[in-house]
Amino acid sequence: MRQLTQLLSALSLVGIAAHADEPANLDAAFAAVEPKVIEWRRDLHANPELSNREFRTAEKVAAHLRSIGLDEVTTGIAHTGVVGTLRGGKPGPVIALRADMDALPVLEQTGLPFASQARGEYMGQDVPVMHACGHDAHVAMLMGAAEVLAERREELAGTVKFIFQPAEEGAPPGEEGGAELMVREGVLSGPDAPKAILGLHVWPNDAGTLSYRSGSFMAASDGIEIKVTGRQTHGSSPWLGVDPIYVSGQILAALQGIPGRHVDITRGPAVVTIGSIQGGVRGNIIPDGVTMLGTVRTFDRGERERLLARLEATVTGIAEANGASAALTVTDSNPVTGNHPELLQAMMPTLRRAAGEDRVYEGNLITGAEDFSFYQEQIPGLFLMLGAGDPAVPREQRPSNHSPFFTVQEEALMVGVRTLVGFALDYPGSNRL
């Protein structure tokens, strides 16, 4: 009794009304749906699909949402996206819960009995496909949350939109997709426009933990393409041409000085990476051009703009000094992903109830990027890392997301379901933003 009193007191501190009317058998509902969540996750893991090609996944999701009686199920959003709408029996706000559906061109090496054997086409090539980033878990958890909430629609205040998004990993070249396209196609607008949104991402932290950061959490990411144009000549006579490979080498070295000497690191770190350099076909021919591909990661909007401006000035200046020319193109931009400070504070009791008082903690900045940020540009949002790593393995030895060995400890799945359901139940009683 004393513990219950303390919990109610803690909830009231942040303006959350304790759910005295929450169904007493909610734990039973979670227990009943857990085997289904595990089964769905394993099926999805064994049958992954690449970005904008999530046809089977979308059909499975839509069929489930219809089977549990959601008020509306819309398919074909942003190519293969699915959105289900559940209207509660009590008045209240609209909120959204999001899961991403796509997999990666990775050859799975986990050895799991339900490991992927799937193949797909990526950039014109036949490739292996794997859920190497855990989106199979995201979809299964949101399907489970939808079932729990649908069974209790009469107790639900407000409306929940379940957003199953394609192409978080990026649309194929020449196509559009992902959260940005979902937003453009109206997933956050209309009569059921959400007031807030929650997303979860499995991470190699200890299974069942939740980590967060108030404000910036995951980096803004900008893809960059640098084309250096010189003048082709024989390798024995470089003075008769303009060597774009030599120029590119100078540019590559200079780029690494920009984060360390031209970015205000008190506003957040920055990373510039060149991951691909292509130019020339023979060792005795200086080519006409070189193409470099890379990414820029930042955590502050102003510093991002200054870094990109400095990047362009550096690229063009070095090229011109050597008699060459260079063009910088910025592509595939994702804004910073983070957590709305007031919304995070209001929902903290919910998170602690879902994961455990001592299993919710502030994490480090993550230089990876997420297109969940496009939703957060429109409405307040939370984006949390759900630990899915094996606690028996040292953290530095656990496979990272996008690794062919990446795995999800299934005991983490119901923490995710509890978090999603808790957000939907608790947000209506909060001091809403």
DSSP 340: -
CA distance linking residue 319 with residue 325, whole number of Å: 5
Is 300 part of the annotated catalytic residue set? no
Of 49, 100, 102, 169, catalytic: 102
Cβ(333)–Cβ(223) under 8 Å?
yes
Planar angle of CA 242, 246, 248, nearest 5 degrees = 105
3-class secondary structure, 415 = helix
Residue with tokens 């949390």: 384
Cβ(69)–Cβ(154) under 8 Å?
no
Question: Burial, 375: exposed, middle or buried (Cβ in 10 Å; 0-12, 13-18, 19+)?
Answer: buried
Cβ(74)–Cβ(164) under 8 Å?
no
DSSP string, 195-232: SEEEEEEEEEEETT-EEE-SEEEE-EEEEEEEEEE-B-
CA distance linking residue 344 with residue 37, whole number of Å: 26
CA distance linking residue 251 with residue 318, whole number of Å: 7
Which structure tokens are listed for 393?
A: 């393995």
End-to-end alpha carbon distance in the chain:
32
Of 147, 168, 370, 371, catalytic: 168
Report the relative pairing of strands 325-334 and 220-229 from DSSP bridges.
Answer: antiparallel
CA quadruple 99, 100, 101, 104: dihedral sign: negative
Is 426 part of the annotated catalytic residue set? no
Residue with tokens 């070189």: 290
Which structure tokens are listed for 97?
A: 């819960």
CA distance linking residue 292 with residue 328, whole number of Å: 10
Cβ(208)–Cβ(415) under 8 Å?
yes
Whole-number Cα distances in Å, 79 to 111, 199, 290: 32, 20, 35
Catalytic residues: 102, 168
